[in-house]
């Protein structure tokens, strides 16, 4: 492990850079937000990166803790008490992607091929709970694995959900030429104005049916899915094949019952449709308010969720 990533600018917006390697694989984990800035296999990106001299845009590679996606009005009730968090998506009146996106993570353990970073969510208005978060990133012959463990270090039970926001690289082209393979039985409908859940619909025989794989084309994606098909190990998969014939495979364990797919159409022009955000989530959008798939952590309890990615 090294945080020597070449000639760094005098100030790095994403903080310290922790580099890990295994053979041709290289990943860089960052201090600000604890996410993945770069994951490559040789010269080919596996997960779309962002420059070392830039802020993380579009939540590239970021952990989403203690909730992924959107929370309506930042309001929720837990154990009979009402709470309201800051609105971090003010144009839509939502709180989005939790509380740690711009917080610093500390280095806890390091090796040449693995790094563990951690952060503490201290009690604050809107989330008066104490949560310790630790993420191990590891490279091996199977690619990159990210294992996140959250532990309630406070005196009261707390609500928790987890997601992460990697973008599967389309290679040198755009998503329009890519083949996407993804098997989910249900798409969660969201309203157009605030992107909050409004119902569900089967994916079969719709534009969102990617069983067996098909070209993405001009389809715009910013949709949550559930009823994920799993293999014999209980793992669900997303596969994106670029115009170069290389396939990025992303897997997620049973703790992740939902995925959000986002084609990046609202990002800065140079970033639009150059990668597919395939976001494993333990709960759907607005889970703090709806309670759906929300994890309740009692004092001292912990919850671990694991996903990974590789190039084939």
Task: Compute the distance between CA of residue 87 and CA of residue 2 in angstroms, rounded to an integer.
Answer: 36
**pLDDT digit string, tens, across residues 25-36:** 999 999 999 999
User: What single-letter DSSP state applies at residue 54?
Assistant: S
Contact 162, 68 (CB under 8 A): yes
Mean pLDDT of 87-91: 95
Mean pLDDT of 133-145: 98
The structural architecture, per CATH, of the domain 17-311 is: Distorted Sandwich (2.70)
Task: Compute the distance between CA of residue 15 and CA of residue 3 in angstroms, rounded to an integer.
Answer: 10
Candidates 165, 161, 174, 175; CA nearest to 65 is 161
State the residue for tokens 């952590």.
297
State the residue for tokens 């959107």.
70
Q: Residue 2's pLDDT is what?
A: 43
**Three-class SS of 100-168:** CCCCECEEEEECCCEEEEEEEECCECCECCCEEEEEEEEEECCEEEEEEEEEECCCCCEEECCEEECEE
Whole-model pTM: value is: 0.94
Candidates 92, 93, 73; CA nearest to 83 is 73
**pLDDT digit string, tens, across residues 166-195:** 999 999 889 999 999 999 999 999 998 899
- Number of residues that this document lists for the chain: 312
């Amino acid at each position: 492990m090294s945080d020597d990533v070449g000639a760094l600018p005098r100030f790095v917006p994403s903080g310290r850079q922790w580099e890990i390697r295994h053979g041709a694989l290289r990943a860089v984990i960052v201090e600000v937000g604890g996410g993945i800035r770069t994951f490559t296999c040789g010269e080919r990106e596996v997960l779309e990166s962002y420059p070392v001299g830039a802020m993380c845009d579009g939540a590239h590679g970021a952990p989403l803790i203690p909730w992924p996606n959107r929370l309506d009005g930042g309001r929720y009730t837990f154990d009979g008490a009402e709470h309201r968090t800051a609105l971090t998506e003010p144009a839509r009146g939502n709180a989005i992607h939790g509380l740690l996106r711009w917080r610093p993570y500390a280095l806890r353990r390091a090796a040449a091929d693995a790094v563990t970073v951690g952060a503490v969510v201290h009690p604050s208005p809107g989330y008066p709970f104490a949560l310790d978060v630790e993420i191990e990133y590891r490279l091996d012959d199977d690619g990159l694995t990210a294992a996140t463990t959250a532990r309630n270090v406070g005196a009261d039970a707390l609500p928790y959900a987890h997601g992460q926001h990697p973008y599967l690289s389309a290679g040198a082209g755009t998503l329009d030429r890519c083949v996407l393979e993804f098997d989910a039985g249900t798409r969660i409908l969201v309203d157009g104005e605030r992107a909050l859940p409004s119902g569900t619909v089967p994916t079969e025989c719709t534009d969102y049916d990617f069983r067996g794989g098909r070209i993405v084309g001009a389809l715009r994606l910013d949709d949550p899915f559930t009823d994920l098909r799993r293999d014999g190990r209980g793992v669900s998969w997303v596969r994106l094949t670029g115009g170069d014939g290389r396939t990025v495979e992303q897997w997620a364990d049973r703790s992740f019952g939902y995925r959000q797919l986002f084609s990046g159409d609202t990002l800065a022009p140079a970033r639009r449709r150059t990668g597919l955000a395939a976001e494993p989530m333990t709960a759907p959008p607005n889970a703090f308010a709806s309670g759906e798939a929300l994890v309740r952590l009692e004092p001292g309890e912990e919850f671990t969720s694991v996903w990974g990615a590789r190039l084939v």
